Structure 1
Amino acid sequence: MASEQAPTPISELSLDDGGASAARAPRWRELLFDRVVIVPVLIAACLAGGLGVGLATLRQQVLNSEERMLAALSAALADQADNALAAAQTAMQATAEEIVGGAWVPDTVVAGAVLRARAAALPAARQMLLLDAQANVLQAADEELEEPPHARADYFLSALGAAPGSAHIGAPTVWPGQETPWIPLSMPWSTPHGRHSGVIVVAADTALLLGGFERRSPAPDARLRVLRTDGTPLLESDPSSGWPERAGTLHPPAGVSAWTQIVSRPGDDGRRHDLLLAGHAMQRAPLAVVLSRDTQVVLADWHLQAWLVGGFALAALLVTTVLSLRHAREQRWREHSQRDLQRQRERAARAFAAAREGLWEWDPASERHYLSPRMRELLGFDASASAPPATHALSWPDRVSQDDRRRLREAIDAHVRERARDFSVTLRVMPPGQPPRHVRLRGQGLRDAREQLLLLAGTAYDVSDEVAVSEAARRLDEQLQRARQFEALGALAGGVAHDFNNVLAAILGFGERARALAPEGSALAGHVQHMLSAGERGKTLVARMMAFGRTGQGLRQPYRPRALVQEAWTLAVQGVPEGVQARLDLDAEDPELVGDGVAFFEAALNLLRNAVQAVGDRGSLRARLSSETVDQPRVLWQGSLRPGRWLGLRVEDDGPGIDAEHLPRLLEPFYSTRSAQGGTGLGLAVVHAAVRDAHGAIDLRTAPGEGTTITLYLPLPEPAAAPTAPGVEEAAWSGQGEVVLVVDDEPALVALLEEHLAERGFEPRGFSDAELAWQAFEAEPGLFAAVLSDQAMPRLGGLELIERCRRLSPGVVTIIATAYGGTDFGARASAAGVQAVLAKPLSWSELDAVLQRLLRAPR
């Protein structure tokens, strides 16, 4: 077996009849006790016994194989159900946490949108509900579905009043208008004050737990059942399958997550049938997945073989007896037996080939291999050619790399040295003229009486798909780590920018006051102006850092796109090779837009950098900023243009272009067409997010070898009417001694605001400690006409301070000054009673206008 010579086929073995027949026809009594009859009959009986043992072994192997397959499938279905339950639980928990955190309020448009989005993202989900404590529907993802009564449902009762974050699974329920039952999942939710207020319900198809069983069913008779841990049946793939009524016999022993067993049940024909069961417990729910098959169906092929072999054994006994009497018929019986054995051999060969596993042996003494046909296929050898000798097992340099050969030798040496049961190693096989594949080898060594290695033998199978899945998981993990790094950098940048913003506000504020006091045209005025210009650049830098650190949209502020495009161009074309021709065209018109200028700057910079990278060492790129009037609706690559005025930023290059296969995924985060050159896949995702938030559109024109042109369109505001000149009374307006409470954790800003407000005719009361400010307001709430507070302060934040002040004095004017308050800050500020939100660093004219508007309005 260690060489290329195959073992002698069974069909080539012969049986000796032990002698010749008598000349005369013997009597039956004589033949029965004759050695010529007894020896063949005994031999045939021994063969029949061996066949019986083999059949029994084969029967057990068939059951074991089916048991392993059902166990693996039940584990996969349990994992799939766990993942689906985890996704549903995550969605419900996120909804409950957002309600507790006050991110949105039930029974609103925002709540409906959130439920619809999350129901659409969940696998097999059909409805997502928000119920109050009386089982009334506050919000539904699909408001057109008719609801069943929830008050007495098990999923509502089990979740109501349960611990926060605990998920519950109810019995399958048929909803009105539906033909099949749905699986209800529930979780309690609470108000921001911690009071239990109701239940979140997700209704999903039975596919949530059954998964793709109908497609992955190993056989038509296979059945799937989902049980609770106490054995109560929850769901079954075929209710008419006739499983045992007492499902409690199917749950696993304590502490066992996976099990197999055979149970007996009465069949429709009155006889008892054995069921092969394989179960696996879920990790995220007190449920278990149980698969079953009828052993009669599993052993159908074996029964056929048993009948064939049994008949053959009986025929052999009879034929042997008869052939012992008539030697002339012995040859015919032998030919018949050879044909039967050949068919058995071919059937066994087909069964081994269907397993898709290769068999290999290596003889160290002769350095020769024996390879089965499947093994030759895995290694890329011709089926008719002999494998060349090798100094070690499976070590052909033209098929296995040096590193893999070294790993294989180390695994075999460790197996021989440590006397382990077997060894296993995965090799990357590179057959000439064929794509590489990954092959997993398993084997063991055979030793003689002196413990010397005689033979290495084992099996092999293709694991290329498993390796590909593992590699994809590794890449996803790398992307996740990179995203976490970006998140950490963003948090750090946001924190640093927030503290620096207070310092910068004081510099700009006192600088403006110093500029007003300096004589016009003096050197001091020039120095102060330079300082203010540097402060403005620092203000822009802080805005970018704050934008990098936040996760949602910031405050909408006016900005000029022309200066931002010019600055992005300067950064993008720094250091471009001399062979690259770069040209920037800026329209004479420079409109003022209202939105996130930092996001627009980042989008322009990413487009320009992509164009520079696409051009390489030689080529041309051009950027143009211009306005355009659209008369008819126009559909673009991403979005559409309605009639009106639009600002367009066009970036074009003559690089290699983009293949059509990349276009559908071009805007996905972390998807890059230049991953080999270090692309992160975030550039166009940032561009898309900025344009989407500005209600714009993107146009793309590209083809392989023809370059790429990307145009961003942002809507331009309609030209406003010229403002009328303010009257004398309005221009001369100032405070009338109103007391204004000024709160900021930066003492320099407090002093600056006090000085400005005092000049405008107010009486400021400044505090750098929010707690002290609250104590002063609490002592005399009627004294203060307005509260001007920072948002991010230690111990007591601006919104909480204003809420307290509004409770004592509902008519007080409230203003918040902040650089960025977080996601949905405008909505939270409005809910707290804030009447105006000002961006830091403060603009004196904007502050004066807000105070004039709020204090002169009737209260």
Structure 2
Amino acid sequence: MADPSDKNFPQAALQQSDMQFRLLVQGVTDYALYMLSPEGLVSSWNSGAQRIKGYAEHEVLGTHFSRFYTPEDAAAGLPARGLAIATREGRFENEGFRVRRDGSRFWAHVVIDAIRDEQGTLVGFAKITRDVTERRQAEQTLEETRAALFQAQKMEAVGKLTGGIAHDFNNVLQVLRGNLELMQSRAIDDAWMRDRLARASEAVDRGATLCAQLLAFGRRQPLRPAPINPARLLRGMEDMLRRVLGETIQIEMAAADGLWNVLADAHQLENVILNIALNARDAMPGGGRLTLEAANATLDEAYCNRNADIAPGRYVMLAITDTGIGMTKEIRERVFEPFFTTKPEGAGTGLGLSMAYGFVKQSGGHIKIYSEPGHGSVVKIYLPGTDAGEDPIVAPTAGAGDGGSETILVVEDHPTVRTTVVDMLASLGYAVLTADNASDALRLIESGTHVDLIFTDVVMPGALSSPEMARRAVARLPGIKVLFTSGYTRNALVHGGRLDAGVALLSKPYRREDLARRIRQLLGTAPNSQRRPLVLLVDDDCDMRATVADMLALLDYDVHTAASGAEALQAMAERPADLLLADQLLPDMPGTELAAELRRRFPGLAVVFASGRRLPSEAELGFEAARLQKPYTLDQLRGALARALNLA
């Protein structure tokens, strides 16, 4: 230690202090501490700088400190701007990416202090850099988690709202549909009235479709999930997608080895993939590539912490990637909201991705979109994986749509709906009893009154729920049948995203034919019944659709209409028809492709193609079908329908 009596004490003390300061600076390893000349050249270098930036002292002394900046920041003049601000204001502080010796980047908190002598002359700069990458990542994770939670809460709130609206709206549609069908049965000889009623019925159909889409978004649709092999499902859709998307879209498919099965509703999953693919096509107006991939994925707690709507576990990821125009951040954040669309007015409802979101969430999965403007989009769907074997695919049958003479108890609290249903059932020949709540219905059953079937709304007022009333009724009368109906089911019949086992449900709004078919499926075929064949008429021309529907009614066929291939696929899933009468040119897919897909799902479906242009041959179709050249007469239509039914 220096001796205070020594005349050289001040200089020795200064040297000792300088040495201690250097030792202190060199001992700091969490911060890069170094000096810069007024021109920005490195003049000192501590061990913390070497640890953080990776350079040894001899590699950086005398070099310009801009070497630590990213090329884009250096080109933008950020190093010089930092020195200029520190010179003018005495201090410069900010955060940004910096580059290590090995080229890797880290997020840095930087401080530059101007150093001046006693005369105020700038002699250099003190530079302090701290690696705060982990802190930034934690902040980003927290922000992402908050955003994901907010989005999940918002979507949950909107889902509850849309579910409630759909329930009430479906009751209104049920009254309209029931009364329109009753009026149609009395307007056989009035062409003007039939035309107006048909147009009104089509409007009800469109309203019912919108309600179904809203229920899908709100996770209120009754699903029937089963183990599905995702690779088989994608392969089964490949030909359809190629024809639907057109020649300008190149399709690639890939499925990983050892793929798990997924637990989902197969028809609804196909519709989701089709909707996403059609959106991708619209995002590639000049053509492009669509890639569909399936792979196993194990989501860990870290991922699920950033995405509050999913739990850790085994999933199968379906990724649908396009090379389209991409989306901005603002669009990505809203893309799953119902009725949000970037398409021109009239070109879409804005419910396609909303339906996909609702289906995936109700299936216990997770959906996410990755996209940047000009770089395409990736939609990733995660569905729960299962070791259970795939169930055999059995196409639902149409069943009989006749009336009968049995006694039906209608339990419905909405008086107008109740009156309409009673009229529909009476027109089918049934004896009808009514109750406006579950308790009254149970008392009627317990009184000994003969009832063959209970037709009850799911959501009822009062202390006794409809499901509990039905359970007690079946316990008292084991032979009694129960058919539930609802605009949406809340949690009464759907648990874990699936319809409870053994439950028969007819969703509102339903047609008279739907009601008749489901009742006969439960009660059995009525004696001497003769059901009229059901025709699914698909044509995008509204006037043509109304005219042909009238012609089919005159030929004693029941008719269900659709304006596009997507509507037809949904209609067949809800109400399978005996015969498809399709125009060859549809807005979203060729009629031949629609027929091929429907025959894959419903092998016994009869098909008639109609077109004003060239009709496809059987060799082109790959299956037998009847053909009609537009314009055609009533007799020509009658003959084509008969031929198609004989071929099937």
TM-score (norm 2): 0.47
* Structure with max Cα Rg: 1
Q: Which has the higher contact order (CA 8 A, sep 6+)?
A: 2
